[in-house]
Each structure stands twice: as C-alpha cells, then as structure tokens.
Amino acid sequence: MKKALSILLSASLLAGVMTSFAFAEEAETAADHSDQTIGIAMPTKSLERWNRDGEYLKEQFEEAGYSVQLKYSDNDIEQQNNDISNMIADGVDLLIIAAIDGESLTQTLADAKDAEIPVIAYDRLIMETDAISYYVSFDNYTVGVLQGQFVIDSLGLDIDNTEDSYNIEFTAGDPADNNAGYFFNGAYDTLEPFIEAGILNIPSGKTSFEQVATPAWSTDTALENFQNTLASYYSDGTVLDIALCSNDSTALGVAQAIQSDYAGDNTPIVTGQDGDIANLQNIVDGIQTMTVYKNVSDEAGVTLVLAEAILEGETPDEGLLEELDAEAAFDTESYDNGTGIIPSYLLVPWTVTVDNLEDLVETGLYEWDEDEKYLVSTAK
C-alpha cells in the first residue's frame, strides 16, 4: 500500500516537474508577443457558434502570448464599426473580424489600412475594401453541397427514376452575410437536376435566395416564415419531405414550425450547419436530421498561425498549409470582395448525423453525457 502510494506520489511529482517545464517553455514563447495586441470583432452572442469562435480565438491567442481585445457587437452594424474604430484607436497590431454586414465596414477599414493594421476577414468575407489581407473560413459552397448531397443519399434519389417525387422547401441565411449565398447555391445547384426532372418539387414556388433569406439568421424569423409556408401550401395535406435549412439557428425555427404546424405524420428531413448544442440534441431526438459541422477551434487555430506569420512580416501563401494542424486549402480564385481576389484559407466541413455524432467527442470539444444521452460542450 505504502509502496503504491509512493510510486503514485513520485509519478505525480514527475508529472508536476514536466508540466512546469512545459509551462516554462510556453512562457518563453509567450513572452515574445506580450507587447502585441490582437483585436477580435465578433458579430453577436445570440448565435452559439460565435460564442465558441470568440472563446477559442481568445484562448489560443493568449496561450501564444498575445494580448487580446474581444468585442461582440450585438448584430448592430454601427456598433461593430465603433468597436473596430476603438480598437484601431487603441493601436491593436492586427484585427480579426467576422462582419455583421459584409458591405458596411469600408470606411472603418480604410482607417485600419492607414494605421497599417493588417486585417483578417474571419469566416465571412468583408466586401468593398482593400484593407483585407486574408480570408479564413470553411469552404462555404461545399457546406451547401453537403446538405444537398445528404438529401440525395438519404432518399436514394436517382435522376433516371422519375416515378417517386418529393416535396422540398428551402430556408436560407442573412442577405448581409456574404456566405449565405454560397450555402444556398451549393445546395440548390446540387439538387437542381432533380428539381428540373420533377423528382423534387417546391410547392411554395420559392426557388430564389431572396425569397427564402432570413435576416440576421434569426430563429424566430425562420419559424414565422416556415409557419406561413406550411399554412399556405401544406394545410391541404400536402406532404413535406425536406426542409433544407442553411444553418442551425434557422433549422431550430423550422423544426419548431414543423412540430407545431405541420399536419402530416412523416418526419421531414431537416438540414443545418454549425453543430450548435441545441441542434445536436435535436439530432439525437430525431427533430433535425443532419448538420454540417464546422470545427471552429480549428478555424481559430488556422487564424493564429496566419496572424503570427503576418506579424512576423511574412506574406503567407500555400506553404503555410504545412504549419497548420487542421486540413485546409489555399484558394486564390474563389473570393473576390469587389477590390480583387482575397487569398483564402478554407477549412473542410463535414456531415454529422445521429450515426456519427459521437465522433465529435474526438475533437475534444464535446463530452457524451451518459445520464442525459446528449453531447455537452467542454467549452467554458
């Protein structure tokens, strides 16, 4: 007993020594950057993912030894402009911005450029400004393709078999968010051959992005819009097979509308994007069918490696991919913000369903709660 205890003690002592070595090493690297401040502007706390993005960015930059200013602007365009202006006035060394409205930061970012502050557009491209050095995001078009492909695979759609047909409705994102069109187009383009062949029908006739867009990605607006669609086109017993939603916040509203207002007894396919906790629970409960998962901890990690290179005076290119811990592509073709192509690092999204949901535990960002039978976040 005594012996076991002493082995245990010396093991933990050794672990302690090793940890302090690790800390010493970290502290050494950390000290190099302590005079540099990173300004981070996130759109809102009302959508879960941005809380995670903000937390991971802050944590990872601080661990690397930088000082961090983190601002959330409550989905208010004027406030975001003010928050960014204040960070410029404070003399931050680099800005990371997830824009509320991609078109509304031109003047503020001209000030950043004058002050020689590099800007990384985070997740959402910022339009009409030449102050952006780089764009870090996921492959936005692929997000929509994965949603469309999921529908094809789960219904076993076959372009040569026009005997079976299904009804689908789309819900898209915020028109102010440059990503929203990519998501919608990725899904629509993937399904278009089946729509044209009459295998997929859209009873509402709402086939364009503008008709199904959801300002601010609001759950309540998505709920209301979908209740209207159900009342107008499905109250006569028309069967709804698929509700293709661009992301999780809109999927929450749509799923709620289906639960309260849909008369049919089938369970329509409901797609999403992000892997927000409420949606992961809905997937377990069979209320949502899939989500396109974005590992935003990896997105923060890629942003850190990129920011460090920029701050060291480098001009990062494809070579930076070797330094990343996450799979990504370097893209110099897809994202023109109106002033030219913005070089982009694009991470890879993947499909999560009830069948592979527990794989998320391997990211280290979630734990499986045995009592609740749900995933819980390990984020603070």
Binding site for ligand GAL (CB under 6 A): 47, 49, 123-124, 173, 177, 179, 217, 247, 249, 273-274, 294
| C-alpha angle 50-173-71 in degrees, rounded to nearest 5 | 25
* 52 half-sphere exposure, CB direction, 13 A CA radius: 20
Q: How far is the CB of 107 from ligand GAL (least distance, A)?
A: 22
- Which 3 state secondary structure label does DSSP give 186? helix
- Which 3 state secondary structure label does DSSP give 278? helix
8-state DSSP, 335 = -
- Both tokens assigned to 65: 């030894």
Q: How far is the CB of 246 from ligand GAL (least distance, A)?
A: 8
Q: How far is the CB of 252 from ligand GAL (least distance, A)?
A: 12
Distance of CA 181 to the CA centre of its chain: 14
* Of residues 133 and 279, the one with the C-beta less far from ligand GAL: 279
Q: How far is the CB of 298 from ligand GAL (least distance, A)?
A: 13
Q: How far is the CB of 363 from ligand GAL (least distance, A)?
A: 16
Short-list 45, 178, 63, CA closest to 122:
178
* Of residues 36 and 249, the one with the C-beta less far from ligand GAL: 249
Q: Is the dihedral of CA 230, 233, 237, 238 positive or negative?
A: negative
* Of residues 71 and 124, the one with the C-beta less far from ligand GAL: 124
* Of residues 200 and 375, the one with the C-beta less far from ligand GAL: 375
* Of residues 93 and 274, the one with the C-beta less far from ligand GAL: 274
By DSSP bridging, strand 290-293 and strand 94-97 are: unpaired
Q: How far is the CB of 160 from ligand GAL (least distance, A)?
A: 35
* Of residues 51 and 81, the one with the C-beta less far from ligand GAL: 51
- Determine contact, residues 299/136, Cβ cutoff 8 Å: yes
Q: Is the dihedral of CA 275, 99, 125, 102 positive or negative?
A: positive
